[in-house]
Structures are given as structure tokens and as C-alpha cells.
Chains A and B, each alone.
Chain A
Amino acid sequence: QKEVEQNSGPLSVPEGAIASLNCTYSDRGSQSFFWYRQYSGKSPELIMSIYSNGDKEDGRFTAQLNKASQYVSLLIRDSQPSDSATYLCAVSDTGGYNKLIFGAGTRLAVHP
């Protein structure tokens, strides 16, 4: 069974610190990787997508991908209280057209 694993948290970081969120996946054939942010009671919002090994930066967010280790991470620099949310890692499902496999999410709490 294809799985995406995330630490459920909560991950608690002080304001201004770097938050590091990790994700591992089981489907070695996956080619597309995504991070979504979900505030309580809201639907997921796309933050980052990454397709190649290495780092991809967008503002305060950096996604890192290591296909050999089947590992994806998201770094949030200068964390703000507004970053407090659940972060979902999603991986493309090689068995289904445009389907994604979601992790259970990591809850991030940024405290002032």
C-alpha cells in the first residue's frame, strides 16, 4: 500500500525561528511532490511543488527533495504566528491519473 508518512506534531517553534517539516513516501515511482497548508476548518492551500532533487525556494519557504531517500521536506524561515497550521505533504500516485496521496499532516505552532 502506498503511503506518505509525516510526524503529526505538534511542532512548536518560536517566532522568527526556522520550522522544518519532514515527509517520507513509499512509491518510488512518484515524480511530483507538493506541500499544502491547511488552517483549522479550511481547505488545503498549495504552498510549494517540487519535481527534481535538490532545493526549491519561494520566499520564506524552501522545499527539499531526495528521491533516492524518498524524502521531502519543507523549511519555513522567519516563522510567524500566522504560519501556525497543519502542513500536508502530497505525492503523485503513479497508479492513478493525476491522483495524489496525502500524508496525515504535521501541525505547526509558532509562538510569539
Chain B
Amino acid sequence: GAVVSQHPSRVICKSGTSVKIECRSLDFQATTMFWYRQFPKQSLMLMATSNEGSKATYEQGVEKDKFLINHASLTLSTLTVTSAHPEDSSFYICSAPGSGSPDTQYFGPGTRLTVL
């Protein structure tokens, strides 16, 4: 149990375009999901907490108008990077708390975004 998927696994886009990343909990429901960003050789940086049926909670310094989060259902959260620029190139990873252990987070496989 506690399997989280992400799509796409890798995306290359031109500067100025928008990219949508999907995060799904496959065998459990998740009212909360977390979005992280990780630059090379650095640790995970929490960007926002996605809440099903309500607005996402963004961490300090994260632009909510640039990183749009929608938690459409109990198994799906999406992150849209709007007007992407090269500095947005990073590894984006989502996670969800397990249904049996809500303080344990299970990670999706991540999405490698490269903005040209």
C-alpha cells in the first residue's frame, strides 16, 4: 500500500510555457499532499501543502501565482508551473501521508523539469 505516482517523469519545455505535473495516490485516499522541489545536491524544499477541497498552503517565499496547486479529488493533486523559466528547472516531488500512519510520507517518483 501507500503507492504514489507522478506524471510526467520528465519534461522539457521552452521558457514562458506552463507545465502541469500530476500526483496520484494509487491505493489510498489523501486529503493532504505535499509538493517539494529539489535542486542538484541539495535537500528537499517544501513548496506547499495541497488540501483536498480547499486552497493550498504555500511555504514562505514560494509564489502561489507561479506554482498553482489544485487538489481535485482525494487521489489527485496537480502542480502547474506557470510561465516557466530556466531557473525553475528542478526535480519536483510530491508526497502523501499514508492512511494508516498519517505522519509518514510516501513519495512519488518525481518529475524532472528542464526549461530551455
> B-contacting residues of A (Cβ < 8 Å)?
31-32, 34, 36, 41-46, 49, 88, 90, 92, 96-100, 102-105
Nearest residue (CB) in A for B45 is A102
Residue among B97, B109, B112 making CB contact with A98, cutoff 8 Å: B97
Instruction: Give the complex CA separation of A92 and B103 in angstroms.
Output: 7
Interface centre among A49, A92, A98, A104 (most CB of B within 10 A): A98
Main secondary structure of the interface of A (DSSP, over half): loop
Nearest residue (CB) in B for A103 is B43
Number of interface residues of B (CB under 8 A): 21
A-B interface contact total, Cβ < 8 Å: 49
Given contacts A96-B49, A98-B97, A99-B34, contact A104 B42 (CB under 8 A): yes
Give 24 pairs: A residue, B residue, CB < 8 Å, sorted on A: A31-B103, A32-B103, A32-B104, A34-B104, A41-B112, A42-B109, A43-B93, A43-B110, A44-B44, A44-B107, A46-B107, A88-B44, A90-B105, A97-B32, A98-B102, A98-B105, A99-B34, A99-B49, A100-B46, A100-B103, A102-B43, A102-B44, A104-B43, A105-B43
Chain B residues within 8 Å of A41, by CB: 91, 112
Chain B residues within 8 Å of A103, by CB: 43
> A-contacting residues of B (Cβ < 8 Å)?
32, 34, 42-44, 46, 49, 91, 93, 97, 101-110, 112
Given contacts A32-B103, A92-B103, A98-B103, contact A43 B108 (CB under 8 A): yes
* A46 contacts B43, C-beta separation under 8 Å: no
Q: 4 nearest interchain CB pairs?
A: A104-B43, A43-B110, A43-B107, A32-B103
